[in-house]
Chains A and B, each alone.
Chain A
């Protein structure tokens, strides 16, 4: 009967029900989108490093992220190859450059120069063209999400980088940057030409260690023997990049603040409506008490109401969040909603509603059953 009574009380006052659900739905949608954006941003920030296959990164001193780093002095690749424990070292030229659009306008881009034959970082998720096409003259590979920014329609269209022609030869899907600057993949040599870099110069050197070597030992050796560089493990470079973009810039804090705001709004709305509902049914709770109901019996009625609010509000909220994610799937925003995040959000919503029930529970446990005799 606890469930029957809780359900009937829950749906009895339609206005209160709607207000409660609107509050929870707003909260769930806001939390799902904000946290999804946070994780999506994290994924975008780390996607290049994740796909590199490198175990160690040789970077310019203080390089904060993959996208925004000066070039190395040059020669680091061969210096690394000469050290014990190093299996391979691959140059990767990365730099922010200007793309001159066909209409004469300009768009900043991140040029990523790598040679597929070196088993370095190559474009993935190709939806048009092939990876080998990168060896064609002036070839670059762009992502579908940025074609409009580059003012190109597809393969064969071109622009200019540093007054040199660049032709789209293949198109990827879902390779997006946190800075919203389009990535343009090209060969290492062509990237150096775009960047006016020396033939042995690159942005990073990606290192793999021999099977019998320890990563930490090789890292320490490289750090000791190479000058004016940082040698980072893959995880250290990931952490540094995420920290830079999400925390040093304040972007991550803003996303987290949005999620917390959603949680607060949810707590306030649910607490207010549950409290009001309890007050409306105070005489019934007093009657229950007079009939001999234990305090825990009455608390269960309120908690079931809170759980019902959570479940229904969560389902509607998640449905709305999924619609928003679907509608924005082809934009530059990445909202990442994993099953684990969905489960975590459900537990947060449940916790939020149960926490919100505290004021109502306090009210009802202080109830004076003598009020059943009030005329």
Chain B
């Protein structure tokens, strides 16, 4: 689904140069919710950006759905994102001038899937995250948890095989954070999909199938844990 081998990324120039990633090798599997944890500055977001084809690795190879990203131009990378990747951001990144329904429809339009009944598809996606009653609401009228659920619906609506989430619970209280992670865990049960979550919120550990820890640009641990129920890990 996604395979990274020997990923190195150097940020900055000259004396300010920093090696954010040092030969990271990691694969994402379908039906798995992977947490990437680590302290600030450890390279979490850099790795997420590379997985999302937003940053190019300085060295190493990234293969998504069997396609190597090496040498791809910006438009080819954008196409790969449209086909394979859904994003969830810490700050939701919803369009304030569009309703919840329109925010989701926009993701379909970007993927050129707006033809036909895009509105019905968007509604179904929002109903799937429990927001069937908030279709016409603008982001400013939604709570933080609701906004993040709109963002999740937006990430899912294009039917991508990889969901990349950047600190999805960081701006949420415990109840809303739990609700969002439960949703992501359900999404990750889909065997055609992999969910990769960058976080340093330890409250969400029970939702993960796999926990990867990164420090100073190196993967320092990669542990799998079995879940028998959503949000509950088997010991």
| B110 adjacent to A372 (CB under 8 Å) | no
Between A and B, 16 residue pairs with Cβ closer than 8 Å are: A1-B109, A1-B110, A4-B102, A283-B93, A284-B95, A291-B82, A292-B82, A292-B83, A292-B110, A292-B111, A292-B158, A293-B82, A370-B55, A372-B54, A372-B93, A375-B91
Mark interface residues in B93-122 (1 if CB within 8 Å of A CB, else 0).
101111000100111011100100000000
Closest CB in chain B relative to A61 CB, distance in Å: 69
Q: Which of B91, B97, B106 is the one whose CB lies under 8 Å from A12?
A: B97
Q: Which of A8, A290, A293, A373 is the one whose CB lies under 8 Å from B97?
A: A8
Whole-angstrom distance between the alpha carbons of A375 and B91 in the complex?
A: 8
Residue in chain A with minimal CB distance to B198: A373
Judged by a CB distance under 8 angstroms, whether A69 is at the interface is no
Main secondary structure of the interface of A (DSSP, over half): helix
| B75 adjacent to A372 (CB under 8 Å) | no
Interface residues of A in 281-299 (CB under 8 A from B): 283-284, 287-295, 297
Judged by a CB distance under 8 angstroms, whether B25 is at the interface is no
Residues of the A chain whose Cβ atoms lie less than 8 Å from the Cβ of B95 = 5, 8, 284, 287
Residues of the A chain whose Cβ atoms lie less than 8 Å from the Cβ of B102 = 1, 4
Residues of the A chain whose Cβ atoms lie less than 8 Å from the Cβ of B154 = 291
Interface size on A, as a range, is 20 to 34
| A292 adjacent to B79 (CB under 8 Å) | yes
B residues adjacent to A (C-beta < 8 A): 45, 48-49, 52, 54-55, 74-75, 78-83, 85, 87, 89-91, 93, 95-98, 102, 105-107, 109-111, 114, 154, 158, 166
| A293 adjacent to B78 (CB under 8 Å) | yes
| A373 adjacent to B45 (CB under 8 Å) | yes
| B45 adjacent to A297 (CB under 8 Å) | no
Judged by a CB distance under 8 angstroms, whether A311 is at the interface is no
Whole-angstrom distance between the alpha carbons of A370 and B74 in the complex?
A: 13
Judged by a CB distance under 8 angstroms, whether A81 is at the interface is no
Residues of the B chain whose Cβ atoms lie less than 8 Å from the Cβ of A291 = 81-82, 87, 106-107, 110, 154
Residues of the A chain whose Cβ atoms lie less than 8 Å from the Cβ of B93 = 283-284, 287, 290, 372
| A5 adjacent to B87 (CB under 8 Å) | no
